[in-house]
Amino acid sequence: MSRLLARLRTASWLGWQVESNLADPLIFTIYAVLRPLSTALILAGMYWAVSRFGRPGGSVSTARAVFVAIWIGSAFHTYVTQVLIAMGWVVVEEREEYETLKYVYASPIGIFTYLAGRSTVKLVLATISVALQWGLLAASFVLGIIATVSLGFIVAGVALLLPRVAMTLNEGVAVALYLLCGVIFPIDLLPRGLQEVTLALPFTWWYEALRRAIVGHGISTRLGALPNGVVLGALFLTTAVLAVGSRHAYLALEMRARRLGRLDQTTMF
């Protein structure tokens, strides 16, 4: 355990050096604060532009409740966006930019531990974003983080097989989850087939649990009929399945990348 923690600490330290790019701590802190606040203001402006807030026939209390629910989903989706893209990008960055992925793979730290350590930096930065937008963290926070990191390992495993185009996959998965899991609109608006798909994703249940814990309700009529125990149980079950499945999926993808000789593939892009 001590060796594992030492390796995670080393990988996290390296990730921080890469992320901050040796910038002045004050400048980097300002950037880390202004970026999420700017994103939050953009979201507020978008909602104000398309909503019926303050217009005749529109309920002010209803509009505020919907906006808060959207705000919570968008704030916590920062974890999914930051971690998924980062873990997939680490593979591309180490392989293409620095051409050191094969050395990381052969080192005692191991690529699995290295990816986990590098993800902690993005978790810290995402936490800053969430704390700035909403200070209260719900009881389901840990499960959502586990689900995010687990899916990140699958994305990283696929990136081992793909060339530089893997970075498009990283961002595509994050955007797909943004649309499917009820971040900015209820899953009730999705076609019936897609609604069933979203129910198999832990992030759908995560955002619902977070909204209930913080404001007492969600935004989905379909999920709103379920008691809190069912929502938390579904979150736990889907997270457990994803966590176990991601471990096997990543190892299978890594083994295939080894057999195909793609661990150190570069495109000279």
Delimit the domains of the chain by residue range: 2-259
pLDDT-wise least confident of 9-13, 21-25, 58-62, 229-233: 58-62
Please compute Rg for the chain using Cα positions: 20
Q: 211-255 pLDDT, tens per residue?
A: 887 888 888 999 998 998 899 899 999 999 999 999 999 999 999
Phi-psi region of 261 (alpha: psi -120 to 50; beta: other; left: phi over 0): left
Higher pLDDT, 219 or 46: 219
Distance from C-alpha of 18 to C-alpha of 29, rounded to nearest angstrom: 15
| Residue 197 reports pLDDT greater than 90 | yes
Is the pTM higher than 0.75? The answer reads yes
Contact call for residues 67 and 60 (beta carbons, < 8 A) = no
Q: 99-153 pLDDT, tens per residue?
A: 888 888 888 888 888 898 888 888 887 877 776 654 445 557 888 989 999 999 9
* Residue 233 CA: distances (Å) to CA of 64, 79, 124: 29, 21, 27
Question: Which residue, among 190, 260, 253, has the nearest Cα to 221 in the 3D structure?
Answer: 190
For position 24, what pLDDT does the model report?
Answer: 75
The residue with tokens 């700017």 is 38
For position 56, what pLDDT does the model report?
Answer: 46
Percent of residues in the chain assigned helix, strand, coil, to nearest 5: 80, 0, 20
| Residue 52 reports pLDDT greater than 70 | no
| Residue 157 reports pLDDT greater than 60 | yes
Distance from C-alpha of 118 to C-alpha of 10, rounded to nearest angstrom: 9
For position 136, what pLDDT does the model report?
Answer: 41
For position 22, what pLDDT does the model report?
Answer: 62
